[in-house]
Amino acid sequence: MISLAGRDILHAWGKFVFTGIGLGLLIGVTLTMAGVYRGMVDDGKVLLDNSGADLWVVQKDTLGPYAESSSVPDDLWRSIRAMPGVAQAANVTYLTMQVGRGDEDVRAMVVGVAAGGPGVPGWPPQLVAGRQITRGHYEAVADAAAGVRLGDVLKIRRNRYTVVGLTRRMVSSAGDPMVFIPLKDAQEAQFLKDNDAILMQRRRTEANPAFNRPAVPDLLDAVIASQTSNSHVNAVLVRLRPGFAPQEVADPIRLWLRLTVYDRAQMEGILVGKLIATSARQIGMFLVILALVSAAIVAFLIYTLTMDKIREIAVLKLIGTRNRTIASMILQQALVLGLIGFVVGKITATFAAPLFPKYVLLVPFDTAMGLLAVMAICVLSSVVAIRVALRVDPAQAIG
Amino acid sequence: MKVPHLQRRTLALVAAIVPLAALFVYVVLRSGPLAPVAVTLDTVRSRAVAPALSGIGTVQVRYIYKIGPTAAGRVRRLDVHVGDMVRASQVLGEMDPVDLDERMRAQQAAIKSAEAGLRQAEARQSYAQSQARRYEQLVSVRATSEENLATRQQELAVADAALAAAREDARRLRSELQALRAQRGNLRLVAPVAGLVAARDADPGTTVVAGQAVIRLMDPASLWVDARFDQISAQGLAAGLPAEVVLRSRHGQPLAARVLRTEPLADAVTEELLAKVVFDALPRPLPPIGELAEVTVRLPPLPEAPTITNAALRTVGGQRGVWKFRDGQLAFAPLRLGRADLDGQVQVQEGLAVGDAVVVYSEGTLGPKSRVHVVERIAGVSP
């Protein structure tokens, strides 16, 4: 049996393939847009994965440490460590700031990790180059997205950190690369102001008669010392003992230490539901518009392709071809067009994804849904063309 | 032979479609969750590890002398400036004596007056004595009454007492003058030892309270580094170990030093151990007190043992270990770790044997079912 659709495609295959490629680019943009949304969600998830924690203990009634600022004393981890079901508890600080690299600076999330070596919650779970931090000060592990190399020197506040290790996909929920530094340095970095500000504060304190009392000469020094030290961290990361449920451990901490505790599901809810909710809706809106535009364009393309050969269809009708054959020809062409478009779209999206400044994640589920959607749109849009083709008057063939 | 028209077109179509399809298959298999994770491998080697401890500290001096008045007062003059070297017992300055000099002059006048009073009492006493003696002789020849003699004797006793009082009074006044002189001397700020003037906390005219430092003197030979080491990574810190000190202002110039002592009191708040590190040779020029310094303490090398890099360590199910790679299969091996050096080499006490292949770097998180793709270096990472 002769495939009418195949014959027709072969007849003007150049036009057909180029139409398919054009459609593919459009589908590629749509897939990429879905990938941008998935990437945003994934940024949040890797942030949680990389922390290696089962529970996050933060300041009472805050959504910290990622979505809101939170501050807890840095000796609190000892009390949490003593709670039943806690296998490990470690302090951590998060601060998004500009990190100096040579003459320029990059936006990064500086993570202060508690001493104790790899495996302590908060430490980077794996590296792609170099080694983990071994010194208690002035070493850093940075994400390759920050554009750093091993041995580079990063400037955070007034201290310089040597990059000893590189990671990949260690980003904040905003997509900023992470820079891991020892906790004590990070506490200082979080609090330390520039030297001018410190000098000004010292002058103000000196001018305050309550602090600068002639009869108590050491008071001023003590006040200034207490002003320039920081004994707070943003959160305590908790790893559970096997066999303990998160809420079973979280409840006593909430009750007795009067802190807020989140488990993994709640944290994901905060990150996905609150932190990126608006951006996600924005992208969702875009996705809907793009899908509508794609559908309209596919419909228009198939309609035009059909209209181009309306005379041939009239001839087919004239020689007594059945309507079913003509309809299936148009439908097959639409589906092949959609398939070419989808393949081209998937390929362009995959190759374009790494070029984006933020992570673009192409999920197979999205790809499958994309394929189904493209096919559905093609079928729907071919309906219009089929209706026109079936209504054509066979007389046009000779008219 | 002439290629039929249709066949040529079919060939062209195939030439366009086949690469597209091939590319699509490649894309589906090489990206996303179906793609293998790129990993690099390393072999466990037996090697010696020289552990080291890293800490930071500040340059301090063992002896610092805070010199100031023992009573509240005003600084009158200071003869030295910051940076001056001074001798032991050199006068560095003086507090304002206020009325002390006048009181000393008054005291001197009082002493003279007391001395005059003493002479007067002596004259009275010697007269009373001669009178008493004379009346004794007169009574012995019965030329006067017993009563007159008694009167003279009583006068002599009074004069004796007055003389003793005047003498003691003069002595008291002289002692008081000495006390004033001592107080006057105490107003001088004197260097207790030879040293360097580190700070001049008050200038002439400033009123200071008792005990407040006016000049701070330090002994430059007693320079040391007050170092702090995180408790969790300070295993093996002991007196006598060799150390390297890098001053913040002299980056890249490590100075030889050694641990003088570890403090019996640790810092419970910052969770650090404290130690004092002394320089083998004093750096010249002397670093300022309070300068930040990085301290690296070298521990004796350990015997050879299976060693891996700390980049290979992963945590799976709360256990620390590595992914072993054998015959294309991954298996997680929990480890018991020994000491590590500052280059990230960790000795393995249990769980690995020399020659085992372990995953060092990986692009993503691994699982036992992960498909891996062994590479020499993770792509896109500059070495």
pLDDT digits (tens, 9 = 90+) for A136-160: 889 999 998 888 999 999 998 888 8
Choose the mutation target among A13, A135, A371 for the interface with B, i.e. most B CBs under 10 Å.
A135
pLDDT of residue A44: 85
Out of B16, B33, B55, whose CB is closest to A17? B16
Strand duo B345-350 + A232-233: pairing: unpaired
Which residues of chain B neighbour A165 with C-beta distances below 8 Å? 311
pLDDT of residue B1: 45
Strand order in the sheet with B91-95: B188-190, B91-95, B73-78, B207-208
pLDDT grade for A393, boundaries at 50, 70 and 90? confident
Report the pLDDT averaged over residues A156-182.
Answer: 90
Q: Is A371 helix (H, G, I), strand (E, B) or coil?
A: helix
pLDDT of residue B3: 52
pLDDT digits (tens, 9 = 90+) for A280-309: 888 888 888 888 888 888 888 888 888 888
A20-24, A204-208, B176-180, B211-215: range with highest mean pLDDT: B176-180
Which residues of chain B neighbour A87 with C-beta distances below 8 Å? 318
Percent of chain A with pLDDT over 90: 28
Report which DSSP code applies to A138: S
Nearest CA in chain A to B292: A159
Minimal Cα–Cα distance from A349 to chain B, Å?
10
Report the pLDDT averaged over residues A53-76.
Answer: 90
pLDDT grade for A91, boundaries at 50, 70 and 90? very high
**Does residue A203 carry a pLDDT above 70?**
yes
Q: Which of residues 71-90 of A touch B (CB under 8 A)?
A: 75, 87-88
Percent of chain A with pLDDT over 70: 99
Q: Is A118's CB within 8 Å of B313's CB?
A: yes
Helix (H) or strand (E) holding A287: helix A277-308
Nearest CA in chain A to B56: A137
pTM reported for the whole predicted model: 0.81
Choose the mutation target among A78, A128, A141, A219 for the interface with B, i.e. most B CBs under 10 Å.
A128
Please indicate if any CB of chain B lies within 8 Å of the CB of A395. Answer: no
Nearest CA in chain A to B27: A347
Q: Is A128's CB within 8 Å of B378's CB?
A: yes
- Spatial neighbors of B268 by CB under 8 A, at least 6 apart, are none
Q: Which of residues 184-213 of A touch B (CB under 8 A)?
A: 184
Which residues of chain A neighbour B320 with C-beta distances below 8 Å? 118-119
Please indicate if any CB of chain B lies within 8 Å of the CB of A231. Answer: yes
Mean pLDDT of chain A: 87
Tokens found for residue A379: 């079928």
Report the pLDDT averaged over residues A32-39.
Answer: 88
Residue boundaries of the structural domains of chain A? 2-43+277-397, 60-192+230-258
- If you search the block for the tokens 């071809």, which residue do you land on? A321
Q: Which neighbouring-strand residues pair with B297?
A: B53, B243
Q: Is A137's CB within 8 Å of B294's CB?
A: yes
Minimal Cα–Cα distance from B288 to chain A, Å?
18
The number of C-beta contacts closer than 8 angstroms across A and B is 142
Q: Cα–Cα distance between B225 and B291 in angstroms, integer? A: 9
Which residues of chain B neighbour A10 with C-beta distances below 8 Å? 6, 9-10, 13
Q: Cα–Cα distance between A152 and A167 in angstroms, integer? A: 14
Report which DSSP code applies to A177: B
A234-245 exposure pattern, b = at least 16 Cβ within 10 A, e = fewer? bbbbbbbeeeee
Helix (H) or strand (E) holding A113: strand A104-113
Q: Is B13's CB within 8 Å of A17's CB?
A: yes
For chain B, residues with pLDDT lower than 70 are: 1-6, 30-34, 382-383
Which residues of chain A neighbour B380 with C-beta distances below 8 Å? 144
Asked which of A234-248, A379-393, B145-159 is least confident by mean pLDDT, the reply is A379-393
Tokens found for residue A263: 């488990």
Burial of B83 (0-12, 13-18, 19+ CB in 10 A): exposed
Q: Among A119, A167, A165, which Cα is nearest to A144's? A: A167
Q: Is B377's CB within 8 Å of A340's CB?
A: no
Minimal Cα–Cα distance from B377 to chain A, Å?
8
**Does residue A398 carry a pLDDT above 60?**
yes
Q: Cα–Cα distance between B152 and B135 in angstroms, integer? A: 7
pLDDT grade for A1, boundaries at 50, 70 and 90? very low
Strand duo A178-182 + A104-113: pairing: parallel
Q: Which of residues 28-67 of A touch B (CB under 8 A)?
A: 49, 52
Q: Cα–Cα distance between A247 and A270 in angstroms, integer? A: 17
